[in-house]
Amino acid sequence: MQLKHYLQFTDLSREEYEYVFERARWMKQAFKQYRQYWPLVDRTLAMIFDKNSTRTRLSFEAGMNQLGGTSIYLSTRDTQLGRGEPVEDSARVISRMVDLIMIRTYEHDILQRFAQHSRVPVINGLTDDYHPCQIMGDIFTYIEQRGDIAGKTVAWIGDVNNMCNSWLQAAEVFDFKVHVSAPPGYNVDPGQIGLVGTANFEAFCSPHEAVKNVDLVTTDVWISMGFEAEAEQRKVDFADFCVDAEMMALADRNAVFMHCLPAHRGEEVAADVIDGPQSVVWEEAENRLHTQKALMEYLLLGKIQDT
Ligand code: CP
Ligand code: NVA
């Protein structure tokens, strides 16, 4: 089987996502019914974390166990990666001992260099630039809740970060629109994230304009991991970008609210929105498990059934 990495959202085609989502739906049902499905017996996943995590670690680790395989947690705090061993050497060694590798790190370049020297598939568990596994789970969740996402409009409110970049890539793959509203100085750079054009994205100065009639409203923390030094300035810059009930009321009445979590109530989102009836954040978090299980199966075994 040809070696396939998952480093950014555009690494899979729409047809491949449709296959992975079909498998995820099947695996979710099997999981809920306590049906054992062990296609990855004897396979090992190494998870390398250079940043904190709750959901990503848990969903990959539990997911690998549920598929019959094993996972090993490695942190840069206590491995030689944290003491300057070159990424390339680490990739060569780790990929001789395991079948699949997931990495959460800072610069996207580190992940790319690791993948270039790996003999096994590498998955992006979040970099400064992208968080494709989260967006895969988010799109699966939207489809589950409301049906096809093609032709719909998503409003992204707040920081133009790794999540926003992956949403913008996803819009090109699934053909929906993203309205981005961020403060001055926090701009989308379409070239930097490899967008084909600007047809799927529109920038808005006013978050209230951006959410008008949209089908999905989403946001994320103002201070992503690695940006802590800018915290005070960012709290000032983003003060008008809290998704509150007044903002949600401008979206389509059937719109859902999403957040990758962890959330800061009272900053990027008001408590009555994230804890309100339009919020699907808990389903969204759970779907990380099912979609990543399907992704791991796909990267290791390829297509195992016709869809
Ligand atoms: N959404 C997400 O990736 O959460 P963690 O940082 O807890 O993994
Ligand atoms: N944008 C956030 C996402 C956390 C899951 C961060 O990078 O910290």
The confidence score (pLDDT) of residue 197 equals: 87
The confidence score (pLDDT) of residue 182 equals: 98
CA distance 89 to 106: 18
- Of 5, 55, 259, 288, catalytic: 288
Query: Class of the 9-131+285-301 domain?
Result: alpha beta
Q: Is the peptide bond before 132 cis (omega within 30 degrees of 0)?
A: no
Determine the atom of ligand 1 nearest the C-alpha atom of 51: 6
β-sheet bridge partners, residue 219: 157, 259
Query: Is residue 13 classed as helix, strand or coil in its secondary structure?
Result: coil
- 267, two tokens: 């900053």
The CB of 221 under 6 Å from ligand 2? The reply is yes
CA distance 212 to 78: 48
| 134-284 has the same fold as 9-131+285-301 | yes
Ligand 1 centroid to Cα of residue 126, in Å, is: 8
The confidence score (pLDDT) of residue 307 equals: 56
Q: Where are the alpha helices (DSSP H) in the chain?
A: 14-32, 55-66, 87-97, 108-116, 132-146, 162-174, 207-211, 231-237, 245-248, 271-274, 281-301
The confidence score (pLDDT) of residue 144 equals: 98
Residues with CB under 6 A from ligand 1: 53-56, 126, 134, 260-261
Question: How does pLDDT run across 177-192, given as a tens digit for each residue?
Answer: 999 999 999 999 999 9
Residue type, 142: Y
CA distance 189 to 182: 13
Residues in the chain with pLDDT values less than 50: none
Q: Where are the domains of the chain?
A: 9-131+285-301, 134-284
Pocket test for ligand 1, best of 48, 50, 56 (most atoms within 8 A of CB): 56
Contact assessment for residue 237 and residue 276, using Cβ atoms and an 8 Å cutoff: no
The CB of 285 under 6 Å from ligand 2? The reply is no
Question: For domain 134-284, which architecture applies?
Answer: 3-Layer(aba) Sandwich (3.40)
* Residue 220 annotated as catalytic: yes
* Residue 104 annotated as catalytic: yes
* Residue 133 annotated as catalytic: no
